[in-house]
Amino acid sequence: MRTETEDEELLALAQSFRTTLRHAVYLSRSMDHDGELSTMQLSTLGMAADAPLRVSRIAGNLGIRVPSATEQIIKLEQAGLVSRHQDPTDSRAVLVQLTGKGRAAWEEASRRRNARIAELLGQLDAEDRAAIAAALPVVAKLNRNP
Amino acid sequence: MRTETEDEELLALAQSFRTTLRHAVYLSRSMDHDGELSTMQLSTLGMAADAPLRVSRIAGNLGIRVPSATEQIIKLEQAGLVSRHQDPTDSRAVLVQLTGKGRAAWEEASRRRNARIAELLGQLDAEDRAAIAAALPVVAKLNRNP
DNA sequence: TCCTCATAGTTAGGCAGCCTAACATTCACC
DNA sequence: GGTGAATGTTAGGCTGCCTAACTATGAGGA
C-alpha cells in the first residue's frame, strides 16, 4: 500500500521528469543537423545495420506507423543508403537492408553524433556523469512498460 | 589532460546517451495526446502562467524561432487560452497572457500529464526512481551549456 | 531634429514527418 | 478453395518547424 506522502513525492518527481523530458527533446532537436541524416533516418539505418529488417519492425521500433516508416525508407532508398527486397519466407514482407554506402554513411554520422554528445558530457564533472550513466538504463525500462 | 581510456569511456557513455535520448523523444511523443494541448502548447501556457511574456522570450525558451512561436500563440489565442497585448513600455513588443480559461486548461492538462508520468515512474523500484531523480538536474545543465 | 540601424513581431511560402483511410497482395487456417 | 488476418503502399491531410521579406517602433548619433 502506498501512502499519501509517497504519492506526493511521486507527483513531484513526475513534474521534474516532465520538464526534463522537454529538455531532452530540445537536446535531441539541436543534434538533428549534424549532416544530411535526421535522427529517425539514423536510427533506421542503425536497426538495419545488424540484419535486414521488415518495415513493420522498423516502424514498431521507431514508434511510428507503418506508412510513415515506408516514407522514410523510400527516402533512404532514393538516397542509395538502403535496398528493399521481398522476404523469401513471406512474400508480403519487405526486408530493408543497408547498402555499402548506407553503412558508411551510418558509421560516419553515428561517429560524429557520438563525438558531439561526448563533448557535451565532457563538460560535466564525474559525479554528474555518473548520475547520467545510472539513469540511462532506467529510461529504457520506462519505454518497455507502457 | 585527458587519457585515451577516459575518452573511450566518454564515447561509450555518449552512445548510450544517444539511444536514451531517442527513448525520451518517444516517451514525450507518447505523452502528447492526453487531450487537446500539445507539449509545446502546454509549455507555452506554463511559461505565461507566472507572468505575461514576450513572444521572443517564449520562442527562446521553447528553442524555436519567433515566427514559429507566433504561430503557436495565435492558435492558443484563437482557442481562447491566451490574450495578446502591446507592451506598454515598448510598443514593438507583444505580451502574451493567460486567460482564465487558459489557466484552467493548463492546470488540468498539467495535472493529467503529471499523473500519467507518475504512474509510469510508480512502476519502478525505489533505486531506479532515485537514479532518475539524480539525473534530472544534470540534463538541465546540458541544455544550458551549448 | 532627422537619419540610420537595431529590435519585435507578423506574414507568406515551403518542407519534413507524422497520421488515417483505402487498397493490393499474400498468408494461414478451416 | 474461401475467408479473415497480416504486410506494405498510395493518397490526402495536418502540425510544427524553418527562412525571407515586411512593418513598425525604439535608440543613438550627425
What does the pLDDT look like over B3-30, one tens digit per residue?
Answer: 667 678 899 999 999 999 999 988 888 8
Interface test with A, best of B136, B141, B144 (most A CBs within 10 A): B136
Contacts of A78 (CB under 8 A, 6+ apart): none
Q: Which of B17, B72, B15 is nearest to B46 (CA)?
A: B72
Cβ within 8 Å, pair B10-A121: yes
Give the pLDDT of residue B37.
87
Helices (H) and strands (E) in chain A, counts: 6, 3
Q: Domain ranges for chain B, please list them.
A: 31-144
pLDDT in tens, A18-46: 999 999 998 888 887 766 788 889 999 99
What is the structure's pLDDT at B17? 94
Is the pLDDT confidence value at A79 over 90? Answer: yes
Mean pLDDT (whole number) for A89-112: 95
Interface membership of B74 toward A (CB under 8 Å): no
| Rounded to 5°, angle at Cα A31 from A28 and A35 | 140
Enter the C-alpha cell of residue B15.
552512445
Residue B145's pLDDT is what?
Answer: 59
Give me the pLDDT at residue A49, please. Answer: 92
**Fold (topology level) of B31-144:** Arc Repressor Mutant, subunit A (1.10.10)
Residues 43-102 of A with CB under 7 A from strand C: 62-65, 67-68, 71-72, 75, 90-92
Would strands B90-98 and A82-87 be described as parallel, antiparallel, or unpaired?
A: unpaired
What pLDDT does B5 receive?
75
| Average pLDDT over all residues of chain A | 91
Rounded Cα–Cα distance for residues A46 and A96 (Å): 12
Please give the pLDDT value at position B34.
63
Whole-number Å distance between alpha carbons of A38 and A139: 22
| CATH class of the domain comprising A13-144 | mainly alpha
What is the model's pLDDT at position B14? 94
* Nearest chain B CA: its distance from A64 CA (Å): 9
Does strand C come within 7 Å of the CB of B70? yes
| Cross-strand pairs, B94 | B86
Taking an 8 Å cut-off on Cβ atoms, the answer to whether A21 and B13 are in contact is: no
The closest of B109, B86, B107 to B97, measured between CA atoms, is B86
When the pLDDT of each residue in chain B is averaged and rounded to a whole number, the result is 90
pLDDT of residue A71: 97
The pLDDT > 70 percentage for chain A reads 94
Query: A88 CA to D1 C1', in Å?
Result: 24
pLDDT in tens, B111-132: 999 999 999 999 999 999 999 9
Do residue B132 and residue A139 have CB atoms under 8 angstroms apart?
yes
pLDDT at B35 over 70: no
Q: What is the mean pLDDT of residues A102-114?
A: 93
Q: Tell me what pLDDT residue B128 has.
A: 96
Sheet holding A82-87, edge to edge: A53-54, A90-98, A82-87
- Give percent helix, percent strand, percent coil of chain B, each to the nearest 5: 70, 10, 20
Query: Cα–Cα distance between B86 and A84 in angstroms, integer?
Result: 56
Q: Which of A32-41, A132-141, B60-69, B95-104 has the lowest mean pLDDT?
A: A32-41
